[in-house]
């Protein structure tokens, strides 16, 4: 109802802005008519005076009076004429047109429009315009649909990789398991599940993730993505030669434009560097990060996580390595994993107490912006 009141007021205001100027009286035009008529009368009187003074002949006077009379007739028939001017007619026509436009438009809408349809909330409009929705809104709509129909395997299959790209690893695991249950296992779904399980574990290849990659290869022995992550698992466990051999086979067998061929080639370089430096400098270095910058997101994240996991294992075996603890804490902070960073700090402080460097490690963590909690 409020909408119609506002619309009516706006229509009235717009009409008045046009009607008011049209309705104004053209007083100057009337004054011009009277002045011209008075001039012609003076001219007739002047002709009579010229006759009396014998300045013009009677025939010349008659001709002059006839011309002046014709001009007076053209002016409008004299002072008593009530014929409406062209300006008045134009004003009437313009006013009628201004009033007709809103009346016709409103009348047409009432006949062929739908004024009784209620307004739609924002969520309903967005549901009809998916191309204009944000990713979070699309995910929320998909989740709502799946709550209504939890056995929609295709819905879970589409939603699972979206969860993964949004960093929602636990939801991705749940979605992949549902898709596999409802649609059956495939190399793509099993590999996606393995990656999601790895993400849940902070980038470490758990036994469940490893098993998912194995199932993927059992379904499709040539599935490159599963091969890549199984080699990542080998590198995480310190089996660098096995990982390098597997990646080398991928480089040889895959086409040149394959993204996994390129990722395998880059992973080989990083693994060789890690193999050489593992004994003395475990953990990702600036060189490692630079070498991984051109890898795919999944490949790069997995390789960095593998190197950090390798460093963690080294420190468990050699807990007196002060520089190693610093690298581990810094690596977890850079990866955006504050919980793992605090856990590494707590273990490092405990291990370094005999050497007196526990407080120094805590000060280093504080300098990185890591909040220290007891």
pLDDT tens digits, 94-110: 666 666 676 676 666 66
Element (H, E) at 149: none
User: Is residue 308 one of the residues assigned to a domain?
Assistant: no
The pLDDT, as a whole number, for residue 228 is 94
User: Is residue 334 one of the residues assigned to a domain?
Assistant: yes
Kindly tell me if the per-residue pLDDT of 150 is higher than 60.
Answer: yes
Kindly tell me if the per-residue pLDDT of 374 is higher than 50.
Answer: no
Kindly tell me if the per-residue pLDDT of 285 is higher than 60.
Answer: no
If one counts every other C-beta atom within 10 angstroms of the C-beta of residue 132, the result is 9
User: Is residue 170 one of the residues assigned to a domain?
Assistant: no
User: Is residue 349 one of the residues assigned to a domain?
Assistant: yes
Q: pLDDT band at residue 81, thresholds of 50, 70 and 90?
A: very low
User: Is residue 149 one of the residues assigned to a domain?
Assistant: no
User: Is residue 41 one of the residues assigned to a domain?
Assistant: yes
Q: What is the mean pLDDT of residues 367-373?
A: 66
Which of 77, 95, 129 is the endpoint of a domain? 77
Which of 77, 111, 127 is the endpoint of a domain? 77
The pLDDT, as a whole number, for residue 178 is 95
User: Is residue 5 one of the residues assigned to a domain?
Assistant: no
Instruction: Report the predicted TM-score, pTM, of the whole model to 2 decimal places.
Output: 0.46
Q: Which residue has the higher pLDDT, 178 or 69?
A: 178
Chain mean pLDDT for the chain: 76
The pLDDT, as a whole number, for residue 202 is 73
Give the range of the structural domain holding residue 340, as residue numbers without chain letter: 318-374
Kindly tell me if the per-residue pLDDT of 369 is higher than 80.
Answer: no
Query: What total number of domains does the chain contain?
Result: 2
Euclidean distance between CA atoms 56 and 265, whole angstroms: 120
Q: pLDDT band at residue 336, thresholds of 50, 70 and 90?
A: confident
Q: What is the pLDDT of residues 207-264, one digit of tens each?
A: 899 999 999 999 999 999 999 999 998 887 778 889 999 999 999 999 988 889 989 9
H helix intervals, the chain = 2-23, 27-52, 58-75, 86-112, 122-128, 135-148, 153-165, 169-183, 187-200, 207-219, 224-236, 240-253, 259-277, 286-292, 297-317, 322-334, 338-352, 358-367
The pLDDT, as a whole number, for residue 300 is 63
Kindly tell me if the per-residue pLDDT of 114 is higher than 60.
Answer: no
Say which residues have a Cβ less than 8 Å from residue 231's Cβ, sequence separation at least 6.
242, 243, 246, 247, 250, 264, 267
Q: pLDDT band at residue 328, thresholds of 50, 70 and 90?
A: confident
Q: What is the mean pLDDT of residues 49-69?
A: 76
Q: What is the pLDDT of residues 121-148, one digit of tens each?
A: 545 544 555 555 677 777 888 888 888 8
Which of 26, 57, 77 is the endpoint of a domain? 77
Q: pLDDT band at residue 43, thresholds of 50, 70 and 90?
A: confident
User: Is residue 124 one of the residues assigned to a domain?
Assistant: no
Kindly tell me if the per-residue pLDDT of 85 is higher than 60.
Answer: no
Write out the two tokens for 199.
């993400």
Q: Which residue has the higher pLDDT, 124 or 11?
A: 11
Kindly tell me if the per-residue pLDDT of 159 is higher than 80.
Answer: yes
The pLDDT, as a whole number, for residue 332 is 81
- 243-254 b/e with 16+ CB inside 10 Å = b? bbebbeebbeeb
């Amino acid at each position: 109802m409020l909408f119609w009141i506002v619309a009516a007021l706006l229509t009235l205001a717009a009409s008045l802005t046009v009607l008011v100027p049209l309705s104004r009286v053209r007083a100057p035009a009337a004054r011009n008519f009277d002045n011209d008529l008075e001039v012609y009368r003076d001219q007739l009187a002047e002709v009579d005076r010229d006759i009396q003074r014998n300045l013009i002949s009677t025939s010349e006077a008659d001709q002059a009076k006839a011309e002046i009379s014709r001009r007076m007739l053209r002016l409008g028939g004299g002072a008593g004429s009530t014929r409406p001017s062209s300006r008045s007619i134009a004003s009437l026509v313009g006013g009628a047109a201004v009033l007709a436009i809103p009346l016709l438009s409103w009348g047409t809408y009432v006949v062929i429009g739908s004024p009784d349809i209620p307004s739609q909330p924002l969520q309903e409009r967005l549901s009809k315009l998916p191309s204009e929705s944000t990713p979070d809104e699309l995910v929320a709509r998909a989740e709502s649909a799946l709550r209504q129909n939890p056995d929609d395997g295709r819905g879970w299959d589409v939603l699972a990789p979206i969860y993964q790209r949004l960093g929602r690893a636990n939801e991705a695991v749940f979605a992949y398991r549902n898709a596999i249950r409802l649609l059956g296992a495939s190399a793509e779904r099993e590999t996606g599940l393995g990656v999601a399980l790895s993400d849940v574990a902070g980038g470490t290849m758990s036994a469940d993730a490893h098993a998912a990659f194995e199932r993927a290869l059992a379904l499709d022995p040539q599935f490159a993505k599963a091969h890549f992550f199984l080699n990542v698992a080998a590198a995480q466990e310190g089996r660098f030669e096995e990982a390098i051999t597997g990646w080398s086979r991928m480089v040889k067998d895959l086409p040149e434009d394959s993204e996994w061929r390129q990722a395998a080639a880059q992973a080989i370089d990083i693994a060789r560097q890690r193999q050489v430096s593992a004994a003395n400098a475990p953990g990702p270095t600036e060189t490692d990060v630079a070498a991984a910058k051109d890898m795919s997101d999944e490949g790069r994240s997995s390789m960095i996580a593998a190197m950090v996991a390798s460093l963690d294992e080294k420190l468990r075996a050699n807990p007196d390595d002060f520089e190693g603890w610093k690298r581990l804490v810094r690596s977890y902070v850079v990866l955006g994993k504050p919980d793992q960073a605090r856990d590494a700090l707590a273990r490092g402080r405990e291990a370094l107490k005999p050497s007196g460097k526990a407080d120094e490690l805590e000060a280093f963590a504080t300098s990185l912006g890591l909040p220290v909690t007891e």
